[in-house]
Amino acid sequence: MRRWIATLALACVAACAAGGARDALSPPPVPGVAILIIEPDVQLSLLTVNARKIPRADWSAAARMLVAQHVRDAVQSKGRTAVLQARADVSVQGRQILLLHDAVLTSIRISEDDDPPPTLSRRRTWTLGVGARALGEETGATHALIVSADGEVTSAARAAFVVGAAAMGVLAHTGLQRASASLVDLETGDIVWRNAVVAAPDQDMRDPDGAHRLVTALLNGAPL
């Protein structure tokens, strides 16, 4: 078993294995409280015919706006107040908490391996610590919803190449879009719920309807 290889695969490929909604790890937000929505971190690229990834800031910006809108709508549809926080406005400590969240996600992915290390079992809980309070200062929110997404959009030339390769029995890589969400208790820093999905073909987050379907799948089962 090569744990570092597993770590690399899990960290780089992220949520390639579609994850269903997890059971709540600790008490979810009580009805009526405000939910802080951190501006989704979205990075999309074009996958060229030679499998090169070219970052597309325009796609990322469009998808970021759409995902944020649908996440906010989903929270509000539960009768809650949604407070959207731009990442640029997050405090210095808040930024550290968001970076810590990314690091925690890497450990969570290791814990979801078939044979996880003994201290990273699938059943364990995860926390960002009490420093997470920095995220919710002056918002009145008790929980924060942290969403990130990335992926590639397959170019037409790449799609033709993939079809041609398949005809010759060769499996070639195509683009995938992925998204993950964590609900964080801002008092304790505990991650009380999380989910990760791989976008279905009709869940292109650059498209309003696709983004809606992706967010619906992502937040399925969230204790909002």
- Sites of contact with another protein (CB under 8 A): 1-5, 7-8, 11-12, 14, 39, 41, 43, 86-88, 90, 93, 95-100, 102-107, 110-111, 117-120, 127-131, 148, 150, 189
Radius of gyration for the chain, computed over Cα atoms and rounded to the nearest angstrom: 18
Q: Which is nearer to another protein, 87 or 173 (CB)?
A: 87
Using an 8 Å Cβ cutoff, are 70 and 82 in contact? Answer: no
| Nearer Cβ to another protein (143/178) | 178
The pairing of beta strand 141-154 with beta strand 53-55: unpaired
Shortest reach from residue 136's CB to another protein, in Å? 15
Q: Exposed, middle or buried by CB within 10 Å (0-12, 13-18, 19+), for 70?
A: buried
Buried b (16+ CB within 10 A) or exposed e, 192-222: bbbbbbbbeeebbbbeeebbbbbbebbbeeb
- Nearest residue (CB) to another protein, 178 versus 212: 178
Give min distance, CB of 103 to another protein, in A.
Answer: 4
Smallest gap, in angstroms, from Cβ of residue 182 to another protein? 12
Q: How far is the CB of 149 from another protein (least distance, A)?
A: 9
Considering the complex, state which of residue 4 and residue 138 has its C-beta at the smaller distance from another protein: 4
The alpha helices in the chain, defined as continuous H runs, are: 3-13, 57-76, 92-111, 133-136, 156-167, 208-218
**Whole-number minimum distance, CB 64 to another protein, in Å?**
8
Compare residues 3 and 122 and give the one whose CB is closer to another protein.
3
